[in-house]
Amino acid sequence: MPFERRVTRKLRVGDIEVGGGAPVSVQSMTTTKTADVDGTLAQIYALAGAGADIVRVTCNTVEAAQGIAEMMPRSPVPIVADVHFQYRLALAAIEAGVSALRLNPGNIRNERHIKEVASVAKAAGIPIRIGVNAGSLDKDLLDSYGGPVPEALVASAMQEVRYLDEVDFHDIKISVKHSNVALMVESYRLLADTTEYPLHLGVTEAGPPPGGLIKSVAGIATLLSEGIGDTIRFSLTADPVEEAKAGRALLEYLGLRERSTLDFIACPSCGRAEVDVIKVASEANERLEALKLPIQVAVMGCVVNGPGEAREADLGLAAGRGRGHLFIKGEVVRVVPEAEMVDALLDEARLLAEQGAEARLAAADVTAADLAAEERLELISIQGDANRSQERRQAVKDVAGAEDSV
């Protein structure tokens, strides 16, 4: 595990463990009317396919709660009911067999009602997320803290924790979401210092991509790198499938979940590029994504630096003079005409996923490495060595006053 994780209590949302060292899970929320059972289930399936471990649906009407009852046996992932204002709808969602509840302490404020929901949830064996949101914070707390500051968000969450503790309810996870990234980070840090309950991370109302993605990554990744966070949600103004994909990808890029999908890397291009890198990379990325292979693939604009810089990639393509060089773990295995290079990359990706790197290296075209080396030297002689390695060796020798032994 790349980051030391904060120790939290463990709970279960359906068959997904949250906290206590369980893998960080990805959540998203449907945008359909929950009463539309088939439409909502179709979206839940799409979200699960994109990497969501848990899906939240709104439970804002009796019909929505009835919809939950119908979809629970058919859902591929646990469902969380999102309840605001009407505690009776929380009771209805439990009756519907939901896997967990999310309550907003800013709008379900009656202590007796909260405790009643917790007691029924305890009997049903389901957890509750205390979902504090800076935009809907309790007015009394806003007044006493002078605004939605981290201390106010944490106070709201801990007040709700006390109500639940008083009825011996401890299957709790907590979120203190803010739309301001810096305040969101501070709120969660403060909360992590205050409680051992698992935390659900998110930047609320992050907006559409790319801004929403950047805000979410900034807030969530900062906390995850500090070991804080047990489950995450990107709140994007976009198709929720994008939220699930982004959440899953973030965890994989941070090494917190195993790679299940393509990790596509590409150089940013520069004056050395022998092809239009943006065009080639976009086409390759789009076609590779459709294959859903759990490998890392690189597209690099030149053979001078590409294979070396992307030597850690499972598979790569670097552009030479009218040709594409395919390489596996930095070793050139095939050189193909430029017009065929993206097709060849896709073929090699499929074979690599099926047969593994060793078999594909063993099947390499024996002439490819020499051809690639020749072409690389030719380009260096035309363009110069980007890393100025010969020049630098000479400079090092001059400074050290030593003989160059190589």
101 or 302, CB closer to ligand SF4?
302
**119/269 with CB nearer ligand SF4:** 269
Buried b (16+ CB within 10 A) or exposed e, 36-72: bbeebbebbebbbebbbbbbbbbbbeeebbbbbeebe
In order of 307, 399, 404, the CA distances from 392 in angstroms are 21, 10, 12
Q: What does residue 334 show for φ and ψ, rounded to 5 degrees?
A: -155, 145
Nearer of residues 183 and 267 to ligand SF4, judged by Cβ: 267
Is 275 or 352 the residue whose CB approaches ligand SF4 more closely? 275
Cβ closest to ligand SF4, residue 16 vs residue 318: 318
Task: Specify the long-range contacts of residues 58-62, CB closer than 8 Å, at least 24 apart.
Answer: 58/29, 58/30, 58/34, 58/82, 59/34, 59/83, 59/89, 59/90, 59/92, 59/93, 59/98, 60/34, 60/84, 60/86, 60/89, 61/34, 61/35, 61/89, 62/89, 62/92
Q: Which amino acid is at 160?
A: E
Nearest distance from C-beta of residue 344 to ligand SF4, angstroms:
18
Looking at the Cβ atoms of 240 and 320, the one nearer to ligand SF4 is: 320
Task: Answer yes or no: are the C-beta atoms of 227 and 7 closer than 8 Å.
Answer: no
Residue 311 C-beta: closest distance to ligand SF4, Å: 12
> Least distance in Å: CB of 281 to ligand SF4?
10
Tokens representing 224?
């995850």
Alpha-carbon distance of 238 to 241, in angstroms, equals: 8
Q: How far is the CB of 306 from ligand SF4 (least distance, A)?
A: 4
Nearer to ligand SF4, 10 or 279 (CB): 279
The binding site for ligand SF4 (CB under 6 A) comprises 267-270, 272-273, 300-302, 304-306, 309, 386
DSSP state of 357: H
Question: Minimal distance in Å, beta carbon 308 to ligand SF4?
Answer: 9
Rounded to 10 deg, the angle between the 150-166 and 181-194 helix axes is: 40
Q: Minimum CB separation from ligand SF4 for residue 337, in Å?
A: 19
Rounded to a whole number of angstroms, the minimum distance from the CB of residue 214 to ligand SF4 is 23
